[in-house]
Structure 1
């Protein structure tokens, strides 16, 4: 199967507010006021959690029939633990990014608890965003003038 390429552009708007573009879509990320932003959008780590949750919901909905899951509804809540002293340089021992991400699945399905638990394992294994976090890709940075 061919490799699919995805692209995104992030550009400073004002202060810490960032315009994010991909295909014909745009959204804004910002920081809360207590972290120097204007609180006009999620911050990047909140967007990461949202992307992870959305990816898991999409996997769940896309594969439910194939796995004989009679999915009535699904909601995923995520919580990430991040020591801001790492990012702010106050504690060189602190991890800069999330040290823990908790996913809570709220699934209404006409299946047994065991079937749902097995399906959640499948969702976690199959989610591309989860895989990217758990198995980091090669990161390349280019400076273009």
Structure 2
């Protein structure tokens, strides 16, 4: 395998209802479940909530990585994401997407850098963030907002 290829993997076991126990590398197992309103026991976040958290985490990797490349200084960084899903698609209604219809993503950053440098960081992160690009290429309506702390 090429040194430029990264493989990622997870192992999951269905337990009951709509719940799975998931294992990634050597980390503690974690539960994915649905709220009671969707047939679950509400014992863990659902897969789409993990995806929204993955977007936050991916930006939390890419922003510092690219900022370092740009010699861009910041002292605080936080994220908030919120997606909208039409559950009729999940329940099998034809013509309704089963994934996010839209997703709002907010970055709050404390920096003394110029607006131009901040915009350059935002553009580079959008171009290189794998989870963001996965969602964008799935044609999810992404609304991204960067603001200063």
Please classify the TM superposition score into its range, dividing by the shorter chain length: 0.7 to 0.9
Q: Which residue does the alignment assign to 2:71?
A: 68
2:89 matches 1:86? yes
Cα RMSD of the aligned pairs, angstroms, is 1.5
Q: Of 107, 121, 132, which aligns to 1:105?
A: 107
Paired residues, number: 135
Q: Which residue does the alignment assign to 2:58?
A: 55
Moved over 4 A (4+): none
Could you list the runs of 5+ residues in structure 2 that have no partner in the other structure?
139-149
Give the TM-score normalised by structure 1: 0.85
Could you list the runs of 5+ residues in structure 1 that have no partner in the other structure?
137-145
- Aligned-partner Cα distance in 2 for 1:54–1:115: 22
* Conserved? CA contact 1:20–1:29, under 8 Å: yes
Q: Which residue does the alignment assign to 2:123?
A: 121
Q: Deviations over 1:39-70 (max 9, x none)?
A: 11110001001001100111112221221211
Give the TM-score normalised by structure 2: 0.83
By relative contact order (CA 8 Å, sep 6+), the higher-ranking structure is 2
* Conserved? CA contact 2:66–2:124, under 8 Å: no
- Aligned-partner Cα distance in 2 for 1:68–1:13: 48
DSSP 3-state at the match of 1:10: strand
- Aligned-partner Cα distance in 2 for 1:14–1:8: 19
Q: Which residue does the alignment assign to 2:134?
A: 132
- Aligned-partner Cα distance in 2 for 1:115–1:48: 29
Q: Which residue does the alignment assign to 1:13?
A: 15
- Aligned-partner Cα distance in 2 for 1:2–1:106: 32
- Aligned-partner Cα distance in 1 for 2:5–2:50: 25
